[in-house]
Structure 1
Amino acid sequence: MNTGVIAMLSPREVVRQDIAAIAAIYRNLGAPTAEQMVARALGGLALTMAGIAEKIRAQDLHDVARQLGRLKLQADDLGLVSLGLVAGDACICLERGDGTAFAAVWARLLRIADRSLPAGPGIAGQSG
């Protein structure tokens, strides 16, 4: 029976982090230096994500797989497990030429980035 009601789905991502990665940075550099380094690294991740989003919005996929690979490495270094895994999945979709899968994984990456990275211009709401 069709009631004509449309359900709006709102996926919620569980963001996994490896706290040991950040703890090691703090242990090795000391709190003040580590805090600055982590803040810079998170800002760099946000800028990388915004740059990728801009390319996707412009439908310029040249070099996006390489940038997603860089995003994955940066996320892994900071213990942002979910962000790194999904960036790697997006890269695989691009390399395979699977546009449908890429669109779905990209939407997931945006949701995870929104929960993992500092708020800034150019990231949220950029579904391409």
Structure 2
Amino acid sequence: MTVSAILSLKYSDSIGLDADVLEALYDQLGPFSADTIVSGAVEELAVRLSDIAPLYRAGRMTDLARLAQSMVAISTQIGLRTLARVAEDVCHCATAEDGTALAATLCRLERIGDRSLTAIWDLQDITV
């Protein structure tokens, strides 16, 4: 038996950026304060994204679920709906100790997280 072709999967996840949330944040706080909040949130999300893999490898599911739940709150605050939803899925999978689903949702969290943070940074570059 030979393999004549290698199949490559292409992901087309939408990042789900809620511009209304960001707009409301900027209207309420003003540009300087909102930029500070958004920048801080993006940095916190980046740190949490990098902290997830070591927790997973160590089998620390309670800590992983807690970290993912904190990502839900931060993502929601700055309008990253899809990132919040996927982080919530990770939290549920870690709590249920469903290894297969957790591995899949962690991969999706990494993809969505990277793309979401890039989108926010790009959006901030446009507004500055």
Give yes or no for TM over 0.5.
yes
The aligned residue for residue 99 of structure 1 is 99
Q: Which runs of 5+ in 2 are unaligned?
A: 120-128
More helix per residue: 2
**Identity over aligned pairs, percent:** 36
| TM-score normalized with structure 1 length | 0.83
Q: Distance in 2 between matches of 1:61 and 1:6?
A: 34
Matches within 5 A, 1:1-128: 4-118=4-118
Query: Contact 1:43/1:118 (CA < 8 Å) preserved in 2?
Result: no
What is the aligned-residue RMSD (CA, Å)?
2.0
Shift of 1:49: 1.4
Q: Distance in 2 between matches of 1:56 and 1:95?
A: 12
The aligned residue for residue 123 of structure 1 is none
Shift of 1:11: 1.5
- Distance verdict in 2 for CA 1:109–1:115, change over 3 Å: same
| TM-score normalized with structure 2 length | 0.83
Query: Contact 1:42/1:118 (CA < 8 Å) preserved in 2?
Result: no
Q: Distance in 2 between matches of 1:105 and 1:115?
A: 15
Shift of 1:102: 0.8
Q: Distance in 2 between matches of 1:62 and 1:37?
A: 28
Post-superposition Cα deviations, 1:67-91, rounded to whole Å, max 9, x if no partner, equal: 1111111111111000000000111
Q: Which runs of 5+ in 1 are unaligned?
A: 120-128
Post-superposition Cα deviations, 1:91-111, rounded to whole Å, max 9, x if no partner, equal: 111111211011111111111
Letter in 1 for 2:39: A
Query: Contact 2:55/2:63 (CA < 8 Å) preserved in 1?
Result: no
Q: Distance in 2 between matches of 1:60 and 1:95?
A: 10
For this pair of structures, how many residues does the alignment match?
A: 119
